[in-house]
Chains A and B, each alone.
Chain A
């Protein structure tokens, strides 16, 4: 497959691994965070950790939209589906995220709520058009990758004068979360892990470009390398970070130049700017409240805002006590350090959000990494 196979060449991966091994200085540690869940998945799937020297460590970041959505937001979606006469449309992963009282959207559906899984927001819009007598709500989640398509749907709904379509908006922003991880004063309320450099998001950057990370690298003096999602992309980005750290540089570099430009997708950015504005604050699972880190609909589109339309008020809800998703999303714990990992909490029956999505650190480690540990333990 073009643009895929050539970036998965095993012999080349060994060459880059050798380059990293020669570049990494024995006297220091390299703690690198892959922000994006897509990279976490690739690192687990291709066993990239095994190709890195012992002093180059990958730390999983919070870039999995399903994972960072706090329980209170899932509860609100369940409230919408069960207390209001609506059809709630959602991406697949959110169906299985546990909410309060042992509920999930999947269980709400089993109990009779009208919850539908959709592949894209266009499917939800179509459903609203085909069923004019019934309200359709789209449970919008995601980083900047899905925000523009939600904006397109809202604009289309306005053009069609659809009175029965609205959006429960939970779109979040990448750069504020990255800044938070790298040590805003607020983050110090939590346990944090020192991070030397960041493997930056690839597909988020298709939309926002590489420019928004420049303030992050300048302010926190950490290198950021935007990376593609194939194994060679990730390896090459690690090499670029190691080289920057060796040379005392902290710049934004772009390994994924075939898809990402400095300015990003201008059309998508215009749409986001027209439809959305920043929330003063938004709660993230594991990171707490982060100022100006999420979008809401602008007042001119308020009639498409499900929160206003159905009077949904956000209520904070505690995580399951045994679940370590919070610490895992901050990079301070690894999935195997969670007591319920792989026992009570599995992809079939997830206790926490990191076990739900394939990008979640726990799900990725469950699918691929745990076999490596079994092999190590039986050696």
Chain B
């Protein structure tokens, strides 16, 4: 039920609908809850509705934190 996926907005359609791409699968969903989402943005899609727009800067910040940890611990076997 709460399993939701990140997907890219491919095309905005009439009303609040949009075509999204989730790992190669295209689907029509509603952007009524995140009307600010534009083509190219990534959104979290849950049961046919986008519920959040992903913030690319925050995503990079988390990844940068992981990368820093990796640098701190070069000895951990991959």
The answer on a CB contact under 8 Å between A145 and B2 is yes
Stretch at the interface among A13-21, A98-106, A128-136, A275-283: A13-21
Q: Which residues of A contact B8 (CB under 8 A)?
A: 2
Alpha-carbon separation in the docked complex, A357 to B1 (Å):
8
**Who on chain B is nearest to A16 by CB?**
B69
Would you give the shortest CB distance from B2 to chain A, in whole angstroms? Answer: 5
The answer on a CB contact under 8 Å between A203 and B44 is yes
The answer on a CB contact under 8 Å between B47 and A37 is no
- Known A-B contacts A2-B8, A4-B23, A268-B33; A91 and B47 likewise in contact (beta carbons under 8 Å): yes
> Does chain B have a CB within 8 A of A143?
yes
The answer on a CB contact under 8 Å between B33 and A15 is no
Binary interface encoding of chain B residues 47-77 relative to chain A, with 1 for a CB under 8 A from any of its CBs, else 0? 1110110111011011101100110010011
Cβ contact of A207, chosen from B48, B51, B55, B65, cutoff 8 A? B51
The answer on a CB contact under 8 Å between B62 and A203 is no
**Who on chain B is nearest to A254 by CB?**
B58
**Who on chain B is nearest to A17 by CB?**
B76
Alpha-carbon separation in the docked complex, A359 to B46 (Å):
14
Stretch at the interface among A24-32, A115-123, A317-325: A115-123
Main secondary structure of the interface of B (DSSP, over half): mixed
Cβ contact of A146, chosen from B46, B55, B61, B73, cutoff 8 A? B46
Those of A151-203 within 8 Å (CB) of chain B: 152, 201-203
Q: Which residues of B contact A36 (CB under 8 A)?
A: 2
Q: Which residues of B contact A121 (CB under 8 A)?
A: 47-48
> Does chain B have a CB within 8 A of A260?
yes
Alpha-carbon separation in the docked complex, A206 to B78 (Å):
33
Would you give the shortest CB distance from B46 to chain A, in whole angstroms? Answer: 5
Cβ contact of B54, chosen from A3, A6, A271, cutoff 8 A? A3
Alpha-carbon separation in the docked complex, A157 to B61 (Å):
42
The interface on chain A, measured as residues whose beta carbon lies within 8 A of the other chain's beta carbons, has a size of: 60
> Does chain B have a CB within 8 A of A326?
no
Q: Which residues of A contact B73 (CB under 8 A)?
A: 15, 18-19
Would you give the shortest CB distance from A266 to chain B, in whole angstroms? Answer: 10
Q: Which residues of A contact B66 (CB under 8 A)?
A: 9, 12, 15-16, 232, 236
Q: Which residues of B contact A300 (CB under 8 A)?
A: none
Q: Which residues of B contact A142 (CB under 8 A)?
A: 1-2, 47
**Who on chain B is nearest to A42 by CB?**
B3
Alpha-carbon separation in the docked complex, A357 to B2 (Å):
11
Q: Which residues of B contact A286 (CB under 8 A)?
A: none
> Does chain B have a CB within 8 A of A78?
no
Would you give the shortest CB distance from B43 to chain A, in whole angstroms? Answer: 9
Stretch at the interface among A61-69, A290-298, A341-349, A369-377: A61-69
Q: Which residues of B contact A315 (CB under 8 A)?
A: none
The answer on a CB contact under 8 Å between A2 and B6 is yes
Q: List 12 A-B contacts (CB under 8 A).
A: A14-B78, A16-B66, A18-B73, A41-B3, A63-B2, A66-B1, A122-B49, A146-B47, A148-B49, A206-B4, A233-B62, A258-B62
Binding site for A on B (CB under 8 A): 1-6, 8, 22-23, 29-30, 32-35, 42, 44, 46-49, 51-52, 54-56, 58-59, 61-63, 65-66, 69-70, 73, 76-78
Binding site for B on A (CB under 8 A): 1-4, 6-7, 9-12, 14-16, 18-19, 36-38, 41, 63-66, 91, 93, 119-123, 141-143, 145-146, 148-149, 152, 201-204, 206-207, 229, 232-233, 236, 255, 257-260, 265, 267-268, 271, 357-359
Which 6 A-B residue pairs are closest in the complex by CB-CB distance? A120-B48, A206-B52, A11-B78, A258-B59, A3-B6, A257-B58
